[in-house]
Amino acid sequence: MEQVSSPVDAVADNQEHDAAGSTALKKVFVKTYGCQMNVYDSERMEDALTQDGYVKTDDINDADLVLLNTCHIREKAAEKVYSAVGRIRKIKEKHAKQGRQVTIGITGCVAQAEGKEIMRRAPAVDLVAGPQTYHDISKMVARAEKGERVISTEFEIEEKFAKLPAPTKKQTIARGLAAFLTVQEGCDKFCTFCVVPYTRGAEVSRSVNQILDEANRLADAGVKEVTLLGQNVNAWHGSLDGQKWNLGELLYRLSDIDGIERLRYTTSHPIDMEQSLIDAHRDLPKLMPYLHLPVQAGSDRILKAMNRHHTKDQYLQIIERVRQARDDMAISGDFIVGFPGETEEDFEETLDVIRQVKYASAFSFKYSPRPGTPGADLDHQVSDEVASERLTRLQALLREQMTEFNQSCVGKEIDLLIEKRGKREGQVLGRSPWLQTVVVSGDASEISKTLRVKVSEAGPASLNAVRI
């Protein structure tokens, strides 16, 4: 799940700022952990900092400011932060001996959940900022640089989106043809295993106008594929001209924007799978035939204990309806094994869901008890040994299905949006409608074009295709 933020054209931005007459530019290095919402937030923070005189660097050893945008979802994710801080502290000490100041900031969900503890455990950290405070990132950094230890974990989500600066056209272009657009943040579902409602706060939807403005700006900068983001993206709701909209209506409207060729959205919750969203899959060619719909578990007893608000059959019926709307839908999911009280029979129900749905892709995890969530206090925690054994079986089944899905694509003709050069000379890459990487012969001049290709071969990590 870990993702690293993409490099930005630091040299070009540097010149832009020099021309504006600012003095020596400081360098910021941002490392992003966790979900795509963090990737989006990291980009917005980079936009704010570069507009306030920083340039981006991809070399941590050369940075004046290091931001770790963190994830708290599982124990391992949170522990990574402390080991990363240990490594950066050494860089900070080395630079200090040469009279160069390095400021360390922790942002994201670990900052929100454990801000005070970070400050106590890691004296090298200068700044702790939760996900709803990023509109103030430049000011907070400036205070930290003056020697103050800054901690900010308030919830002011409307402020965040209203005040974060938009990227310049140049910044957007440098990030490539596919962009994320956060439309909804936070969660009111309170699944008993999950920290997100505590780290991201209550569900908040951005306004239709804010979203359309941002989408038009992306299209204007040449972005061709937009992925709408939210912890519960399909819980997004808004209104325009007195009419209530949900995600389906929003997608119809976004589909009218010239230049945007592909739309995606993630992550959805089964109970918010409204009919208009399913209809959008039937009606909108730009909406890619891919649905990430986590189920977590297959047993009704465990689903209830997880507070998921639906049964196994209801989930299967939703998948059925989605496939009726568009028969080439690829389904992906998230699974947790070893939730407290999970028996072998319960686990078999999860395998049964997988067998019935036939997933194209999936993320699967051992249950990790998170401090402060109801799940952590439940009796009958499953032993690590049993959970590991179940995870191995579940992943073997999912791997089989993924291979089968990739094989089933061989012979299909698809539109391929060429996004970048391939690893080998004379190859370019794009993604299929079902999110697989597709390799085809071609050269860099074809980047941003959409080619009609036929899938010729399925490898373990990508598809090969030939032009038609």
Name the site residues for ligand F3S (rule: CB under 6 A): 34-35, 37-38, 71-73, 108-109, 195-196, 199-200, 231
Contacts of 335 (CB under 8 A, 6+ apart): 294, 295, 296, 297, 350, 354, 362, 363, 364, 365, 394, 398
Partner interacting with residue 197 (select from ligand SAH, ligand SF4, ligand F3S, none; CB below 5-8 Å by kind)? ligand SF4
Beta bridge partners of 180: 227
Q: What token pair was written down for 291?
A: 């649905």
- Decide: is 196 part of the binding site for ligand SAH (CB under 6 A): yes
Q: Which is nearer to ligand SF4, 167 or 270 (CB)?
A: 270
Contact pick of 78, 102, 111, 194 for ligand SF4 (by CB under 6 A):
194
- Decide: is 231 part of the binding site for ligand SAH (CB under 6 A): yes
Closest approach of ligand F3S to the CB of residue 81, in Å: 11
- Decide: is 293 part of the binding site for ligand SF4 (CB under 6 A): no
Least Cα distance to 357 among 310, 320, 382 occurs for 320
Contacts of 285 (CB under 8 A, 6+ apart): none
* DSSP-derived secondary structure for 376-431: GG-S-PPPHHHHHHHHHHHHHHHHHHHHHHHHHTTT-EEEEEEEEE-SSTTEEEEE
Closest approach of ligand SAH to the CB of residue 293, in Å: 8
Q: Give the whole-angstrom CA distance, residue 78 versus residue 422.
A: 34
Contact pick of 176, 197, 222, 341 for ligand SF4 (by CB under 6 A):
197
Q: Give the whole-angstrom CA distance, residue 149 versus residue 146.
A: 9
- Decide: is 176 part of the binding site for ligand SF4 (CB under 6 A): no
- Decide: is 273 part of the binding site for ligand SF4 (CB under 6 A): no
Closest approach of ligand SAH to the CB of residue 248, in Å: 19
**292-351: contacts with ligand SAH (CB under 6 A):** 294, 296, 334, 336
Q: Cβ–Cβ contacts within 10 Å for residue 451, how many?
A: 18
Least Cα distance to 119 among 140, 104, 139, 101 occurs for 104
Q: Which is nearer to ligand SAH, 334 or 415 (CB)?
A: 334
Query: Between the CA atoms of 430, 396, 230 and 160, what dihedral angle is there, to the nearest 10 degrees?
Result: -90
- Decide: is 193 part of the binding site for ligand SAH (CB under 6 A): yes
Closest approach of ligand SAH to the CB of residue 226, in Å: 19
- Decide: is 73 part of the binding site for ligand SAH (CB under 6 A): yes
Q: Which is nearer to ligand SAH, 331 or 429 (CB)?
A: 331
Query: For ligand SF4, which stretch binds (CB under 6 A), given 87-95, 189-197, 349-357, 395-403?
Result: 189-197
Q: What token pair was written down for 72?
A: 């708290």
Partner interacting with residue 38 (select from ligand SAH, ligand SF4, ligand F3S, none; CB below 5-8 Å by kind)? ligand F3S
Q: Give the whole-angstrom CA distance, residue 78 versus residue 71.
A: 6
Partner interacting with residue 370 (select from ligand F3S, ligand SAH, ligand SF4, none; CB below 5-8 Å by kind)? ligand SAH
Partner interacting with residue 71 (select from ligand F3S, ligand SAH, ligand SF4, none; CB below 5-8 Å by kind)? ligand F3S
Closest approach of ligand F3S to the CB of residue 129, in Å: 14
Q: Give the whole-angstrom CA distance, residue 455 versus residue 269.
A: 32
- Contact between 28 and 65 (Cβ < 8 Å): yes
Contact pick of 196, 329, 337, 417 for ligand SF4 (by CB under 6 A):
196
Q: Cβ–Cβ contacts within 10 Å for residue 130, how many?
A: 24
Q: Which is nearer to ligand F3S, 201 or 238 (CB)?
A: 201
Residues that bind ligand SF4 (CB under 6 A): 187, 189-191, 194, 196-197, 231-232, 269
